[in-house]
């Protein structure tokens, strides 16, 4: 099973939920920190980093001795990463999405590939948890290729928890696409509701089962609860606005270790996800 923990907005407690759930489960699993622009799950899981790997992505390299400046490459590139001006080929590497279209259409085979550094992937362990995180190079704008590299480290047929980036843009889609379940973390405020609605629409497009954790559940209003009921979103856990929880998190400690009474609650999220998916499978089987 692959569970992606996401949120429509930053600061809702997504990393708190994902790391505490991983620690509470207490069995072999893989934890992927796909928030590659600012990974912070390591602050709470405290893994021992054992390996680092530099990651690059292919970008075009033009042999101007072969190029006839026909502009077919620039015509096919929807991201304007390659432009032909007169007898000059201009390549904007930061815009390139590494699709290979320019190489494919070049009639002179004048385009090959070179690499552009994306960042670093770090591998480690914390007890039964296999830990992988990506660190995007400072100034790098393209995080989805890096996220896909991190996701490629997942072990088939093993429980995988993904800490997704905040928001609803391309990096989040890269962290959610193809997973078995999306666990969304929100708060009962107008901003929380607004961004939750955007996240739910993205999950619907991807056709992935989803559930909800409501953090700081005793502030704000009931509109998030009403929205969850209308959307048939199961609420798997409510976390109160508690000073001890906030102090624990701000010190880089895990709630399930400082406050053991929360261990079963976070582990219960995983059990509820299993039950929810099993119910969906039975429903589909009956319909067929």
Rounded Cα distance, 62 and 81, in Å:
12
pTM assigned to the model: 0.90
CATH of 57-116, one of 3.30.70.20, 3.30.70.1890, 3.30.530.20, 3.40.50.800: 3.30.70.20
- Give the residue range(s) of CATH 3.30.70.20 domains in the chain: 57-116
Per-residue pLDDT at 288: 65
- Give the residue range(s) of CATH 3.40.50.300 domains in the chain: 2-49+119-287
Per-residue pLDDT at 168: 86
- Label the pairing between strands 111-126 and 48-62: antiparallel
- Taking all residues of the chain, what is their mean pLDDT, rounded to a whole number? 92
Given CA atoms 160, 178, 276, 259 in this order, what sign does their dihedral have? positive
- Label the pairing between strands 160-166 and 2-7: parallel
Q: Rounded to the nearest 10 degrees, how much is the dihedral formed by the CA atoms of 246, 248, 252, 254?
A: -110
Q: Which residues of the chain have pLDDT under 50?
A: none
CATH of domain 2-49+119-287: 3.40.50.300
């Amino acid at each position: 099973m692959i569970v992606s923990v996401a949120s429509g907005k930053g600061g809702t407690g997504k990393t708190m939920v994902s790391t505490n759930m991983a620690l509470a489960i207490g069995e072999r699993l893989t934890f992927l920190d796909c928030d590659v622009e600012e990974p912070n799950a390591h602050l709470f899981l405290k893994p021992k980093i054992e390996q680092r790997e530099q990651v690059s992505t292919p970008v075009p390299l033009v042999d101007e001795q072969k190029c006839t400046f026909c502009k077919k490459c620039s015509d096919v590139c929807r991201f304007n990463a390659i432009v032909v001006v007169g007898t000059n080929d201009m390549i904007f590497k930061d815009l390139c999405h590494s699709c290979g279209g320019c190489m494919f259409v070049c009639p002179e085979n004048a385009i090959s590939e070179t690499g552009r550094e994306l960042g670093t992937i770090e591998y480690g362990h914390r007890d039964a948890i296999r830990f992988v995180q990506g660190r995007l190079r400072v100034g790098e704008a393209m995080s989805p290729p890096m996220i896909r590299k991190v996701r490629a480290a997942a072990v088939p047929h093993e429980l995988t928890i993904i800490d997704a980036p905040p928001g609803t843009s391309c990096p989040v889609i890269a962290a959610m696409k193809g997973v078995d379940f999306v666990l969304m973390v929100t708060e009962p405020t107008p901003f929380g509701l607004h961004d939750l609605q955007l996240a739910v629409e993205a999950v619907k497009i991807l056709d992935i089962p989803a559930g909800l954790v409501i953090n700081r559940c005793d502030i704000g209003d009931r509109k998030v609860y009403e929205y969850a009921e209308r959307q048939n979103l199961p609420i798997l856990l409510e976390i109160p606005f508690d000073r001890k929880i906030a102090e624990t998190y701000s010190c880089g400690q895990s709630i399930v270790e400082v406050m053991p009474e929360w261990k079963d609650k976070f582990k219960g999220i995983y059990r509820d996800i299993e039950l929810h998916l099993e119910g969906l499978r039975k429903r589909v089987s009956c319909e067929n």
